[in-house]
Structure 1
């Protein structure tokens, strides 16, 4: 079981639900421009939060994705050099393992949700 992570702006993720697909690659980049949805591993999450989302002051959600389920649904996923989903993400179904809100700590840094570790075992 391989799990990858996608950081989404809550408003973007929620607005996609009625359509069944999430078409955002990463912050301010639509899927149509990039041709894929950026993802990361647990080890790369801190860098994504610090490098891409540090200056953003909007609510974020961490979407935990099951690679096997994405592929079973016919979506191409590559893991090297960085995880990418080469199709819009489904907003529901078995490929979505969890949606975890991301919060900042007292210093203002984005925090990795404690529940994430249990979802990756």
Structure 2
């Protein structure tokens, strides 16, 4: 199973639940403007957290997505050069493998959740 990751602002993710889909591409960019939802791989997550979310003071959640389940649900994933989901994300169902809260260390740097390694095998 191929897993990709999406970093979401907690309030955006939670506000999307009643509608069944999440329509945010990345920080401050709606899906309708970008045409896709940004994702990343585990090895690039620290860079994304620092570059895109480093200055953000809002709570974040890491959404772990199963690429095969996204495809089974009819959602296309491209790799150009990082993963992109070419549709809004479902907020529930088998494509969502986990939702992990992101926290900062004492220096204020976003940390990769320890549980991620176990989920990725």
2:5 maps to 5
Mind listing any 5+ residue stretches in structure 2 that lack a counterpart? none
1:116 maps to 116
Mind listing any 5+ residue stretches in structure 1 that lack a counterpart? none
Structure (1/2) with the larger strand percentage: 2
Question: Deviation at 1:49?
Answer: 0.2
How many Å separate the matches in 1 of 2:85 and 2:114? Answer: 25
Q: Normalised by the size of structure 2, how large is the TM-score? A: 0.99
**SS of residue in 2 equivalent to 1:45:** helix
1:37 maps to 37
**SS of residue in 2 equivalent to 1:116:** helix
How many Å separate the matches in 2 of 1:80 and 1:108? Answer: 31
1:66 maps to 66
**SS of residue in 1 equivalent to 2:110:** coil
How many Å separate the matches in 2 of 1:86 and 1:3? Answer: 16
Q: Normalised by the size of structure 1, how large is the TM-score? A: 0.99
Question: Deviation at 1:16?
Answer: 0.0
CA RMSD between the two structures: 0.5
